[in-house]
Amino acid sequence: MTQPHVITPQNLTGKSALVFGGSRGIGAAIAKRLAEDGADVAITYVSAPDHATSTVEQIKTQARLGLAIQADSANHADLSRAVARAVEEFGKLDIVVVNAGILRLGPVDTFSVTDLDLMLAVNVRGVFLAIQAAIAHMTFGGRIVTIGSNTAAGNRYAGSTVYAMTKAAVATMVKGLALERAERVVTINNVKPGPTLTAWKRRRVDPH
């Protein structure tokens, strides 16, 4: 029988992190794990202040600093402001996780331009701009992780073409950015999880 993979604790004492889209679901789990491992953590959220507050309170139970910042990942100014606020609070950024994303489903013949533009704005443009805003403040040897999807390697079900397209774009983007930042030893990776049971998965609402 295959043994479950065990993630060993990391010593992140003295490190600071910013998780875009960290109020619930995968993002909240990441934020809490970073705090458990010793990091101070800021998170962004759009429309779930109660979830954001709850996540920050759980971060603080680890005797770490926690901060919730309202920021729309489709808005360039919001992304820049979130980075500036995290740097103001922590003095630096060692770890950035770009988790914010949205899902709209539908066949090509009925998929609206509004939904197409929104998904590109958050899932692709927002990821690039979040990294762009953060990179200037990253410490030597910093870590950037984007949360993608296994759909980047191939569309898994009808109606998810646009979603898969955005995740494939990010996977390609990260490969290029990783080469660009290698000289500063800033590691950039794209993680591609499969279906994950979260409140968002149950309700089909925006996860950020």
Please identify every residue annotated as catalytic. 149, 163, 167
What whole-number distance in Å separates Cα of residue 115 and Cα of residue 111?
Answer: 7
Q: Specify the amino acid at residue 190.
A: N
Sheet of 93-98: strands edge to edge?
A: 66-70, 40-45, 16-20, 93-98, 138-147, 187-191
